[in-house]
Amino acid sequence: MLPQPPRPLPDALPTASDNAPPPDSATLSPASDTRASLPANAAAEPEIASPATAPFDAKAFLATLTDLPGVYRMIGTGDVVLYVGKAKSLKKRVSSYFRENHPSPRIALMVAQIVRVETTVVGSEAEALLLENNLIKRLAPRYNILFRDDKSYPYIVLTRDEFPRLAFFRGATDRRADYFGPYPSSVAVRDSVHLLQKMFRLRTCENSVFANRSRPCLLQQIGRCSGPCVDLIDAESYAADVRLASMFLQGRQQEVIGQLTSAMEAAAANLAFERAAQLRDQIQSLRHVQEKQFIESSRGEDVDIVTAVEEGGMLCVNLAMVRGGRHLGDRPLFPGNASQCSPEEALLAFLQQHYLVHPVPERVFVSPLPSDNEAAEALSALAGRTVPVGEARLAMARRWVEMAEQNARLAIVARRATLSMQGQRLQALQTVLALDGDRIECFDISHTMGESAVASCVVYQGDGMRRAEYRRFNIRDITPGDDYAAMRQAVLRRYDKVAAGEGVAPALILIDGGKGQVASAAAALEELGLSHLPMIGVAKGEARKPGLETLIFPDGREPLHLPPEHPALHLIQEVRDEAHRFAISGHRAQRGKTRRTSRLEDIEGIGPKRRKALISHFGGLQGLADAGVEQMCAVPGISRELAERIHAALR
SS3 readout for 203-263: CCCCHHHHCCCCCCCHHHHCCCCCCHHHCCCCHHHHHHHHHHHHHHHCCCHHHHHHHHHHH
Distances (CA, A) of 66 to 35, 121, 377, 378, 594: 12, 8, 20, 20, 56
CA 216/CA 224 separation, integer angstroms: 11
> What strand order describes the sheet that includes 177-180?
166-169, 155-159, 177-180
CB atoms within 10 A of CB 206: 10
| pLDDT reported for residue 505 | 92
| pLDDT reported for residue 46 | 42
Domain shared by 211 and 232, yes or no: yes
CA 624/CA 599 separation, integer angstroms: 11
CB-CB contact of 320 with 184 (8 Å): yes
**DSSP symbol at 332:** E
Question: What is the residue type of 131?
Answer: L
> Which DSSP helix (H) or strand (E) runs through 575?
helix 567-595
Domain shared by 462 and 588, yes or no: yes
CA 90/CA 120 separation, integer angstroms: 9
Domain-located, residue 151: no
Question: What is the residue type of 77?
Answer: T
CA 116/CA 77 separation, integer angstroms: 9
CB-CB contact of 522 with 531 (8 Å): yes
Domain-located, residue 308: yes
Of 326, 359, 362, 1, the C-alpha closest to 195 is 326
Phi and psi torsions of 551, nearest 5°? -95, 120
Q: How far is the first Cα of the chain from the last one, in angstroms, to the nearest whole number?
A: 57
| pLDDT reported for residue 290 | 53
Q: How far is CA 269 from the centre of its chain?
A: 52
Phi and psi torsions of 248, nearest 5°? -60, -45
Number of domains comprising the chain: 5
Peptide bond into 343 cis (omega under 30): no
CA 401/CA 367 separation, integer angstroms: 7
Specify the CATH number for the domain of residue 620: 1.10.150.20
End-of-domain residue from the set 244, 260, 292: 292
Domain shared by 604 and 589, yes or no: no
CB atoms within 10 A of CB 91: 18
Strand partners, 84: 73
Specify the CATH number for the domain of residue 381: 3.30.420.340
| pLDDT reported for residue 511 | 95
Q: Strand 363-367 and strand 303-311: pairing? A: parallel
Domain-located, residue 8: no
Domain-located, residue 50: yes
CB atoms within 10 A of CB 37: 13
How many CA atoms, within 13 angstroms, populate the side-chain half-sphere of residue 490?
Answer: 34
End-of-domain residue from the set 576, 593, 610: 593
Domain-located, residue 562: yes
Phi and psi torsions of 398, nearest 5°? -65, -35
Domain shared by 191 and 287, yes or no: yes
CB-CB contact of 308 with 408 (8 Å): yes
Domain shared by 445 and 572, yes or no: yes
Of 295, 373, 372, 355, the C-alpha closest to 319 is 355
CB-CB contact of 506 with 466 (8 Å): no
**DSSP symbol at 99:** S
Give all strands (DSSP E) within 463-547, no chain letters: 464-465, 471-474, 508-512, 535-539
Phi and psi torsions of 192, nearest 5°? -65, -40
Domain-located, residue 429: no
Domain shared by 573 and 456, yes or no: yes
SS (H, E, C) 152-200: CCCEEEEECCCCCCEEEECCCCCCCEEEECCCCCHHHHHHHHHHHHHHH
Of 120, 121, 98, the C-alpha closest to 110 is 98
Specify the CATH number for the domain of residue 66: 3.40.1440.10
| pLDDT reported for residue 19 | 38
CB-CB contact of 639 with 648 (8 Å): no
Domain of residue 481: give its range.
439-593
Entry field: residues in the chain: 651
Domain shared by 405 and 503, yes or no: no
CA 238/CA 547 separation, integer angstroms: 52
| pLDDT reported for residue 98 | 85
* DSSP calls for 283-324: HHHHHHHHHH-SSB-TT---EEEEEEEEETTEEEEEEEEEET
Domain-located, residue 181: yes
| pLDDT reported for residue 301 | 74
Domain shared by 102 and 177, yes or no: no
Domain-located, residue 416: no
CA 542/CA 195 separation, integer angstroms: 43
Domain shared by 254 and 276, yes or no: yes
Peptide bond into 14 cis (omega under 30): no
End-of-domain residue from the set 292, 315, 332: 292
Domain shared by 162 and 284, yes or no: yes
Domain shared by 460 and 563, yes or no: yes
SS (H, E, C) 380-436: HHHHCCCCCEECCCCHHHHHHHHHHHHHHHHHHHHHHHHHHHHHHHHHHHHHHHCCC
Determine the 3-state secondary structure of 559 from DSSP. Answer: coil
Domain shared by 217 and 241, yes or no: yes
**DSSP symbol at 269:** H
**DSSP symbol at 19:** -
Q: pTM (2 decimals)?
A: 0.62
**DSSP symbol at 282:** H
CB-CB contact of 379 with 360 (8 Å): yes
CA 85/CA 59 separation, integer angstroms: 19
Question: What is the residue type of 201?
Answer: R
Ranges of residues in the chain whose predicted pLDDT is under 50: 1-53, 291-295
Peptide bond into 182 cis (omega under 30): yes
Phi and psi torsions of 244, nearest 5°? -65, -40
Phi and psi torsions of 342, nearest 5°? -85, 160
